[in-house]
Amino acid sequence: MSSQPSETKAARVTSFDVAERAGVNQSTVSRALAGSPQVTPATRERVLAVARELGYTVDQRASGLRTGRTDTVAVVILQGPEDKAPSGNPFYFELLGSICEAASARGLETLVSLQSEEGRLSGDYVKRGQADGTIVIGSARHSSAWTYFQQLQRSTGNLAFWGSPFDDARWVRSDNHGGGRIATSHLLDRGYRKIAFVGPLGTGPGQFAERFSGYRDALAERGAQPIEASSYPDGDRKSQGYHAARDMIERDGSIDAFFAASDRLAFGVLDYLKEIGRDVPEDVGIVGFDGMSAGTISSPPLTTVAPDLAKAAEALLRMAIDGEASVTQRVKVRLIERASVRPT
């Protein structure tokens, strides 16, 4: 009953097993595997060989308990009710991808949590010993969630935000103002004259408002006036874009370009324009924002302003994990020219 070979559930192999088999003390095993310089090359070799043979790997729970670290970063992605779960906002997943890569490059694992405001919000991964820092991704829409996380940031530290609407907290953002300028100037340079802005500003400060101000400033320099939709329906971004475009075109048929504050809004604009038979980019030009790869699929492919996601991910990590001093950081944006703006 005790020596049946494969009946017994394979017991966890520990550093003690390795030690015994290698004829050294357990602490030496620990040092050897940690690559400590104070263990002789010969000893290290022997230990590593045995570890390999036994299939030993250090238990992160135990080592983390001892060191106080976890070597993982938690990423919470906020989902509004308007985002049909679970895919939510695809842009967030692109950012998530960049964070996973940047984390991995630093030797960190990534814990992902999708959270909605109606569900239970939770950001105390550090306190629970599950992460060394937490990144929260959302937009100004998730207002009640943000107040929770802002609160948490005050008491906790080790948080970094993307898309948070308030200024007195650690965040990384796109150069939204610059992006708004670039998009608008590009449209102006290509000969469009009446450029409308698409994006609800009602939620107050936030990325859209910053993009709007870049748009407005670029327009002002050339003596042009901003054009805004009178209102936005609830719902997903795409239908908001659709309705905003319709609202504005119906009031002023001479509008010949749109700067949409997000790619998903732009897809809605595209839909409306198709519906009324306006040719993009000949009759009407469009520039979106986010650099979403889905923009290559639309027809025409969407010209867009893309933030440097790799840089954003690194900055977020520095703030969340290293507790970097700088409280806020902007990442550069660049224009990705596809085909929703006519060539020169």
Residues 37-56 that bind DNA (CB under 7 A): 37-40, 42-43, 56
Dihedral sign of CA atoms 80, 176, 213, 136 in order: positive
Shortest distance (Å) from residue 113 CB to a copy of itself? 7
Shortest distance (Å) from residue 4 CB to a copy of itself? 18
Shortest distance (Å) from residue 10 CB to a copy of itself? 9
Size of the site for DNA (CB under 7 A): 28
Shortest distance (Å) from residue 154 CB to a copy of itself? 12
| 303, interface contact from DNA, a copy of itself, none, CB < 5-8 Å by kind | none
Contacting residue, 1, 7, 12, 282, with DNA by CB under 7 A: 12
Stretch that binds a copy of itself, among 41-49, 85-93, 171-179, 216-224 (CB under 8 A): 85-93
Q: Which of 79, 215, 180, 86 is nearest to 139 (CA)?
A: 79
| 9, interface contact from a copy of itself, DNA, none, CB < 5-8 Å by kind | none
User: Which residue matches tokens 């900055």?
Assistant: 315
Between 293 and 326, name the residue whose CB sits nearer to a copy of itself: 293
DSSP of 155-218 = HH--EEEES-S-SSS-EEEE-HHHHHHHHHHHHHHTT---EEEES--TT-SSHHHHHHHHHHHH
Q: How far apart are CA 341 and CA 286, in angstroms?
A: 6
317 binds a copy of itself (CB under 8 A): no
93-122 exposure pattern, b = at least 16 Cβ within 10 A, e = fewer: ebbbebbbebbeeeebebbebbbbbeeebe
285 φ, ψ to 5°?
-105, 150
9 binds DNA (CB under 7 A): no
| 94, interface contact from a copy of itself, DNA, none, CB < 5-8 Å by kind | a copy of itself
Q: Which of 135, 188, 177 is nearest to 158 (CA)?
A: 135
143 binds DNA (CB under 7 A): no
| 297, interface contact from a copy of itself, DNA, none, CB < 5-8 Å by kind | a copy of itself
Where are the strands (E) in the chain, listed by range? 72-79, 109-116, 133-137, 159-162, 171-174, 195-198, 257-260, 285-289, 303-307, 328-331, 333-336
Percent helix, strand, coil in the chain, to 5, is: 40, 15, 40
97 binds a copy of itself (CB under 8 A): yes
299 binds a copy of itself (CB under 8 A): yes
| 16, interface contact from a copy of itself, DNA, none, CB < 5-8 Å by kind | DNA
Residues lying near a copy of itself in the complex (CB under 8 A) are found at 12, 55, 57-62, 64-65, 68, 70, 72, 84-88, 90, 93-94, 96-98, 100-101, 104, 109-114, 124, 127-130, 155, 238, 267, 270, 274, 293-294, 296-299, 309
Residues lying near DNA in the complex (CB under 7 A) are found at 12, 14-16, 23-28, 30-31, 33-34, 37-40, 42-43, 56, 58-59, 62-63, 65-67
